[in-house]
Amino acid sequence: MSDIRLYLIVLLLSIAGIGSAGVNEELVEKANKDYNAGLYANAIEGYSKVLENGYESVEVYYNLGNACFKSNDLASAILYYEKAKKLRPNDKDVLFNLNVANDRIKDKIETVPVLFYKRWWQGVMNWLSTDAWTRFHIASFIVFLVAAAFYFISRTILIRKISFWIGLSMFFVSMTTVGIAWKQDVSNRRVTEAIVFDPSLTVRSSPSENSVDLFVVHEGTKVAITDRLGDWYEIRIANGSTGWIQNTSIRSI
């Protein structure tokens, strides 16, 4: 009896999942039509419903960013382009539109140069998406298993030597790629960056309304979150300046 109940529960969940996917596809299709027709507010509503349903993808974030950009909502456009970039760091369309949107905001902050090894490591991390790194890991691990099988089965010394070195290299690649995939996934899940949504936001020296005013940032500016205290966030901007703001002034990427 318990097995039948378990089967029915799994079946119902599967049907619900299929139904949800169908609803999301319909919403995306309608939102795409609204966008192409210039009905950007309707498109934004449609894409937002898809996200509310728990589904996210590069395409949905990218299209939502485009709809917000067409509606002159630069802060939201940048937010969704950044979310798309998180899922696919090297997507040329996402990066191009993100640069265009950033050129339109008020703050032009000079970026502090990144140390070469950090820049190199970030480049490696962003070379592929998390899913692609995971597939790379699985493929290299399968090659490692095949090479190991040849090593133990074959009686030819040359084949054993070739299998050994291929297996060893593939094992190293497999372990490296799974590490990168894990690191990238953790980084994507951790909220460390945000977009300013206030037209003008004063950054303070400490988490208090009575503290000293340090500098001002404007709508659309990207900030890094470095600490939290109650309703206050310590943030850092691209030039290295830091200070405190209230969390209601920003939206997390």
Query: What pLDDT, on the 0 to 100 scale, is given for residue 23?
Result: 81
Query: What pLDDT, on the 0 to 100 scale, is given for residue 100?
Result: 97
Query: What pLDDT, on the 0 to 100 scale, is given for residue 206?
Result: 94
pLDDT by residue (tens digit) across 80-92?
999 999 888 889 9
Query: What pLDDT, on the 0 to 100 scale, is given for residue 185?
Result: 76
Query: What pLDDT, on the 0 to 100 scale, is given for residue 188?
Result: 64
In the predicted model, what is the mean pLDDT of the chain? 87
Task: Please give the chain's pLDDT, 253 residues, in tens.
Answer: 445 554 445 444 444 444 556 788 899 999 999 999 999 999 999 999 999 998 889 999 999 999 999 999 999 999 999 999 988 888 999 999 999 999 999 998 887 776 777 777 777 777 777 788 888 899 999 999 999 999 999 889 999 999 999 999 999 999 999 888 888 777 666 668 999 999 999 999 999 989 999 999 999 999 999 999 989 999 999 998 999 999 899 999 8
Query: What pLDDT, on the 0 to 100 scale, is given for residue 190?
Result: 64
Q: Please write down the HEC assignment for all residues of the chain.
A: CHHHHHHHHHHHHHHHHHHHHHHHHHHHHHHHHHHHCCCHHHHHHHHHHHHHCCCCCHHHHHHHHHHHHHCCCHHHHHHHHHHHHHHCCCCHHHHHHHHHHHHHCCCCCCCCCCCHHHHHHHHHHCCCCHHHHHHHHHHHHHHHHHHHHHHHHCCCHHHHHHHHHHHHHHHHHHHHHHHHHHHHHHHHHCCCEEEECCCEEEEECCCCCCCCEEEEEECCCEEEEEEEECCEEEEECCCCCEEEEEHHHEEEC
Query: What pLDDT, on the 0 to 100 scale, is given for residue 97?
Result: 97
Q: Give percent above pLDDT 90 in the chain.
A: 62
Query: What pLDDT, on the 0 to 100 scale, is given for residue 36?
Result: 94
